[in-house]
Amino acid sequence: NAGVTQTPKFQVLKTGQSMTLQCAQDMNHNSMYWYRQDPGMGLRLIYYSASEGTTDKGEVPNGYNVSRLNKREFSLRLESAAPSQTSVYFCASSEAWTGFYEQYFGPGTRLTVT
Amino acid sequence: GEDVEQSLFLSVREGDSSVINCTYTDSSSTYLYWYKQEPGAGLQLLTYIFSNMDMKQDQRLTVLLNKKDKHLSLRIADTQTGDSAIYFCAESIREDKIIFGKGTRLHILP
């Protein structure tokens, strides 16, 4: 089992460029998440998908779009990158039993926007 | 609103015990969690506690929960250099809402 995989690991973009961050999980989880992590800010939820075909906004969705391509894959798109989107992006997945939500995280994508 | 607060830094000598504290605001959480993030990696679940428990012990880890004060702590006995990481306290309010604290960076002194 690879768990949660993310590509790319590192990316540098110029302001205004677009890119898609890819995430896949092989644990057959229904729920998938995108977070960003900034120094001193902890983790902030960008978007969430409870199941294939559904997506919902999290705390900081502006400037991002997502696609739940199938049960395995959940991508995050930056249409027009801005320096404020420089961050580390984590994808996570989980399955819930009676309220216990262990999230499994990918290794992260380190994005710099210049 | 919902919030999880924890101090940002803790320095501990190797061999001593580390205690990381956390306060949360939502009393409806069923479980509370501690996640560990090693340098350059994602978060990984370290331990958790069910909300009707006061204490949970797992080898070197002890989790204490004070529901009245909404206070959670993680004690690491005999702290080792491999324990150097960022520790996140978290509570799950519902499936799409898991609130993480900002993380406590644990630094081990020789």
Closest by Cβ to A108, choosing from B42, B98, B101: B42
Residue B34: predicted pLDDT: 97
What pLDDT is recorded for position A98? 61
Return the number of other C-beta atoms located less than 10 Å from residue A71's C-beta: 16
CA atoms within a 13 Å half-sphere pointing along the CA-CB vector of A4: 27
Per-residue pLDDT band for A101 (boundaries 50, 70, 90) equals confident
Structure-block tokens of residue B25: 């605001």
H and E: helices and strands count for chain A: 0, 11
Per DSSP, what are the bridge partners of residue A62? none
Alpha-carbon distances of B80 from B41, B61, B76, B103, rounded to whole Å: 19, 12, 9, 19
Would you call A12 helix, strand, or coil by DSSP?
A: strand
Instruction: Please tell me the predicted confidence (pLDDT) of residue B1.
Output: 62
Burial of B39 (0-12, 13-18, 19+ CB in 10 A): exposed
Rounded to an integer, the average pLDDT of B40-50 is 93
Q: State residue A102's pLDDT score.
A: 85
Closest to B43 in 3D by CA, of A75, A3, A108: A108
Type and span of the H or E element at A34? strand A31-38
pLDDT confidence tier of residue A63, bands split at 50, 70 and 90: very high
* A chain contacts of residue B43, beta-carbon cutoff 8 Å: 43, 90, 92, 103, 105
List helix spans (H) across B11-81: none
Picking from A31, A42, A107, the nearest residue to B42 by CB comes out as A107
pLDDT, chain A, mean: 93
Higher pLDDT, A92 or A101: A92
Do B25 and B77 touch, CB atoms closer than 8 A?
Answer: no
The distance of B31 to chain A (nearest Cα, Å) reads 6
Lowest mean pLDDT, pick from A28-37, A66-75, A95-104? A95-104
Over 70: is that where the pLDDT of A103 sits? yes
The verdict on B7 touching A (C-beta cutoff 8 Å) is no
Determine contact, residues A35/A41, Cβ cutoff 8 Å.
no
pLDDT on residue B92: 83
Structure tokens at B106: 């644990």
Question: Would you call A95 helix, strand, or coil by DSSP?
Answer: strand
Which of A84, A96, A92 has the alpha carbon at shortest distance from A109?
Answer: A92
Alpha carbon of B6: minimum distance to chain A alpha carbons (Å): 10
More confident: A44 or B26: A44
Mean pLDDT for chain B? 92
Q: What is the mean pLDDT of residues A9-14?
A: 96
Contact check, Cβ <8 Å, A105/B100: no
What percentage of chain B reaches a pLDDT higher than 70?
Answer: 96
Please, which pLDDT band fits residue A41 given cuts at 50, 70 and 90?
Answer: confident
Q: What is the CA radius of gyration of chain A?
A: 13
Residues in chain A whose Cβ is within 8 Å of chain B: 4, 31, 40-43, 45, 48, 50, 56, 58, 90, 92, 94, 96, 98-103, 105-108
| Per-residue pLDDT at A9 | 95
For testing contact with chain B, the best of A4, A43, A110 (most B CBs within 10 A): A43
The pLDDT score that the predictor gives to residue B93 is 77
Q: How confident is the model at residue B26 (pLDDT cuts 50, 70, 90)?
A: confident
Residues of chain B with C-beta less than 8 angstroms from the C-beta of A4: 42
Q: Is B93 on the interface with A (CB under 8 A)?
A: no
